[in-house]
Structure formats: structure tokens, C-alpha cells
């Protein structure tokens, strides 16, 4: 219901001057209107099971929109300005990507170079250059390809697969439930899935889907900054602080060794963090860190924000919805969305 409501609002406001006027007034009140956009994949190819990608043409359309309407900044520069208590531009945007999908290099990187747009790519360092799928893609592949029609997954529930919609629904439900489990239990369950579903994972899937270190270095030597996104993408609030520190520091260390450059930015896996994790990130030598809030909590950032708790705005398949989020109106309407829910 909320998604339908936001689509209607986005369609109406984007076809008028309302969003531009709203953003202008909001900027005058808050003194700055800086947004950080979070992308994952950019690809026209649809395999039906991996993380859904934004069409390449739509990605370029959004980049052109940002070029025409915002000052383009790097995430590192935003973090530095906030740390030095310097003012931020009245209207600016920074581009980020999470995880380390290969299509960041194949499709997004050429477009960013074409329009001279810097960006930050956050890497799950333990998967770069390997053949190991991210756990959520592994789950999706297994359920999408199994011939088993019914299965019981203990605390994850029982599922029947009578149609593709059943499979899609199960994938979403299982993803969300796995996120709530302690990391060790999540990994154990994911490891059992190939046998439970009678699926043999083919070789080469990870290398097809995930960046190599050669590709990372090529981007890093151009307009792309490389950030850390942990070693294995655990939800940090589901593991011990000792484990979290290892995930944070080791990802930084490995990436720095591989690209021969300092890594200044960190992205909290799944956006989950707390004061203890913020302290670890700061003490580990990072200068800026970003989260991934629920869509009704997305908002522009300001000079008063902590450089280690910067909110981002999710990319959207539709430019109208993206403009709605970027205007700040979506966040300001949060009480209304709560009532709708």
C-alpha cells in the first residue's frame, strides 16, 4: 500500500514544479540539501534470480538528472567537510554502490566516466575475485532452480512452490528471516540449502557476478573511490563486537593491500549499526561511514550529522520516485506513511 501511495505522489509531483519548489524551500530552511545515493547493480540482463538491477539506460538518465540539478561531490569530501565543521553546498549529491557487483565495472563505470562523475564502490572484500556468491544470491539461485515443490526449513518455515510467484515470495521471506538470525546460524542454514533443495551450485557463478581485483584496481585508478563493506557482510548488530571489529578492520586492510591506496569510507552491512560499531569504525581509521535506512527514513544530510552515521537514499527504478526521495518530501511525509501502514 505504501509503495502504491508513493508512486501516485511521485507521479503527481514530478509532473509539476512542486518538487523543485519544495526542495528549494527546504534547502533555505536547512541551509543545505546534500544527498547520498545508494546503488547496487546496473544491468539490462535479467537472469530471474540474482539481485535486481537498474536498467543501464535508466541509470544514465538519473546521472544526467544529477549533473543538471546538483553539484557533484565525492563521499570522502562530504565526510571531510563535516569533520572540519565546514559548510556543505546548498545542493549536492554523492554516488555510492554497495557489495561489488561486476556490472558496476561493466555498465556503471563507463557512464560515470562519460559524465565525469566520481563515485564510491563499497566492497565485500572476502568475495572479490572469488567464485563465492553473496549469501542472498545463493539463496535466490537455489530456490529459483530447484525442482522440489515443497520444503520445511526449520525456523525459516515451510514453503510450497506451485508457481514462480510462490518462489519469488519465498525468496523475499527467507532473505528477511535469515537477516534476523545470529550470523553463525544464518551461515549454517545457507550452507545446508543446496542439499535440502537438491541443487548443485555451478562453478563460475561468483566470477560472472562479482568484481575481480583487476577491475577494482582499474576503477580505483580512475574516478572511483573504493570503500569497505566488511569481509563477509554479516549484520554487525547480530555478531559480537570482537567479530565486528575483525570484519571492519580486515576488510580495510585487504582492500588497501590490493589497490595500494588508503580506504577512508565504510558502509554498514544492511545499514545496521549502533554506538559501539560507530566507535570501532572511527578507531579503525575510517573518516566517513554510511547506512541504508528504511525508505521512509531516507533523507538529505546536513553539516550537523555525524560523518559516521550518514543516511543514504535508495536508487529507484523510476526517476519520478527518485526525485521524490531526493526532494526530502518523502522523509517529511513519514508520519503520513505510518498512518497508511
CA distances from 303 to 90, 275, 311 (A): 11, 19, 12
Q: Is the residue at 202 inside a domain?
A: no
Residue 222 pLDDT exceeds 80 = yes
Question: Quick one: 174 and 274 in the same domain?
Answer: no
Q: How confident is the model at residue 319 (pLDDT cuts 50, 70, 90)?
A: confident
Q: Quick: pLDDT tens for 250-269.
A: 999 999 999 999 999 999 99
**Residue 302: its pLDDT value, please?**
86
Question: Quick one: 307 and 217 in the same domain?
Answer: yes
pTM: 0.90
Cβ-based burial of 193 (10 A; exposed 0-12, middle 13-18, buried ≥19): buried
Mean pLDDT value across residues 111-140: 97
Question: Quick one: 285 and 328 in the same domain?
Answer: yes
Residue 304 pLDDT exceeds 90 = no
Q: Is the residue at 204 inside a domain?
A: no
Question: Quick one: 175 and 321 in the same domain?
Answer: no
- Residue range(s) defining the domain that contains residue 151: 135-196
Mean pLDDT value across residues 307-331: 82
Q: Is the residue at 240 inside a domain?
A: yes
Q: Is the residue at 314 inside a domain?
A: yes
235-255 burial, b at 16+ Cβ within 10 Å, e below that, comes to bbebbeeeebbbbbbbbbbbb
**Which letter does DSSP use for residue 311 in this model?**
-
Q: Is the residue at 205 inside a domain?
A: no
Spatial distance between the Cα atoms of 231 and 284, rounded to a whole number of angstroms: 14
Q: Is the residue at 201 inside a domain?
A: no
Structural domain ending residue among the three candidates 196, 220, 248: 196
Question: Quick one: 14 and 154 in the same domain?
Answer: no
Question: Quick one: 166 and 260 in the same domain?
Answer: no
Query: Which residue has cell 563515485?
Result: 119
Residue of higher predicted confidence among 31 and 277 = 277
Amino acid at each position: 500500500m505504501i509503495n502504491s501511495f508513493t508512486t501516485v505522489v511521485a507521479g503527481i509531483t514530478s509532473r509539476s514544479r512542486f518538487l523543485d519548489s519544495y526542495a528549494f524551500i527546504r534547502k533555505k530552511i536547512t541551509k543545505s540539501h546534500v544527498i547520498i545515493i545508494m546503488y547496487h547493480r546496473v544491468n539490462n540482463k535479467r537472469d530471474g534470480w540474482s539481485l535486481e538491477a537498474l536498467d543501464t539506460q535508466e541509470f544514465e538518465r538519473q546521472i544526467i538528472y544529477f549533473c543538471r540539478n546538483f553539484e557533484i561531490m565525492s563521499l570522502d569530501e562530504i565526510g571531510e567537510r563535516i569533520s572540519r565543521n565546514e559548510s556543505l553546498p546548498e545542493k549536492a549529491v554523492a554516488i555510492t554502490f554497495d557489495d561489488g557487483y561486476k556490472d558496476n565495472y561493466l555498465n556503471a563505470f563507463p557512464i560515470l566516466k562519460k559524465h565525469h562523475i566520481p563515485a564510491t564502490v563499497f566492497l565485500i572484500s572476502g568475495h572479490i575475485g572469488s567464485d563465492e556468491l553473496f549469501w542472498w544470491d545463493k539463496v535466490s539461485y537455489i530456490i529459483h532452480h530447484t525442482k522440489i515443490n515443497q520444503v520445511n526449513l526449520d525456523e525459516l518455515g515451510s514453503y510450497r512452490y506451485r508457481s514462480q510467484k510462490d518462489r519469488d515470495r519465498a525468496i523475499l521471506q527467507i532473505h528477511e528471516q535469515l537477516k534476523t538470525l545470529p550470523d553463525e546460524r544464518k551461515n549454517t542454514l545457507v550452507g545446508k540449502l543446496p542439499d535440502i533443495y537438491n541443487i548443485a551450485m555451478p562453478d563460475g557463478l561468483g566470477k560472472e557476478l562479482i568484481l575481480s581485483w583487476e577491475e577494482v584496481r582499474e576503477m580505483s585508478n580512475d574516478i572511483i573511490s573504493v570503500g569497505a563493506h566488511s569481509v563477509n557482510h554479516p549484520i554487525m548488530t547480530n555478531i559480537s563486537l570482537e567479530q565486528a571489529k575483525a570484519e571492519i578492520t580486515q576488510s580495510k586492510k585487504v582492500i588497501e593491500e590490493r589497490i595500494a591506496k588508503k580506504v577512508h569510507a565504510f558502509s554498514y552491512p544492511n545499514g545496521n549499526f549502533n554506538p559501539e560499531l560507530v566507535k570501532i569504525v572511527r578507531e579503525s581509521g575510517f573518516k566517513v561511514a554510511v547506512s541504508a535506512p528504511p525508505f521512509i527514513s531516507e533523507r538529505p544530510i546536513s553539516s550537523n550529522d555525524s560523518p559516521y552515521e550518514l543516511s543514504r537514499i535508495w536508487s529507484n527504478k523510476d526517476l519520478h520516485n527518485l526525485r521524490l526521495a531526493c526532494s526530502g518530501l518523502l522523509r517529511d511525509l513519514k508520519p503520513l506513511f505510518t498512518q497508511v501502514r
